Amino acid sequence: MLINKAYKFRLYPTKEQEIFIAKTIGCSRFVFNRFLGQWNDTYQETGKGLTYSSCSAELTQLKKEFVWLKEVDSIALQSSLKNLADSFTRFFKKQNKAPRFKSKKNPVQSYTTKVTNSNIAIVNNKK
């Protein structure tokens, strides 16, 4: 039997870390909303959506156009694309409603990342 574990931490980031987190959340929301718009346009024209791999390839081009996307965690941007692709997969299976645009006014703001190259470390109860 497969058991997944999750850990929830309460962190108190420094001012620089708060800025980085806010930038990452904003960029993740921008990527999600941008590709959601493209996905909706394609769906209305063809009746089918885009694929994760096509959006991922276009994300690298988008980073060249918007240089500020390179400042944040790239895994967070890829995660927002995966979440969008999963949302559309569930929509096409009639499990959920169509995905909606993300809003800055939503009180719950988050992003998902992974530990790679020691990008996340908690030392002495501090990040």
pLDDT tens readout for residues 75-126 = 899 999 999 999 888 988 889 898 899 999 988 888 888 777 776 776 776 5
Rounded Cα–Cα distance for residues 36 and 102 (Å): 10
Alpha-carbon distances, residue 4 vs 27, 75, 126 (angstroms): 28, 20, 25
**Domain ranges, residue 62:** 15-93
**7 occurs within a structural domain:** no
**42 occurs within a structural domain:** yes
**112 occurs within a structural domain:** no
**Count of domains for the chain:** 1
- Asked if residue 127 has pLDDT above 60, the reply is no
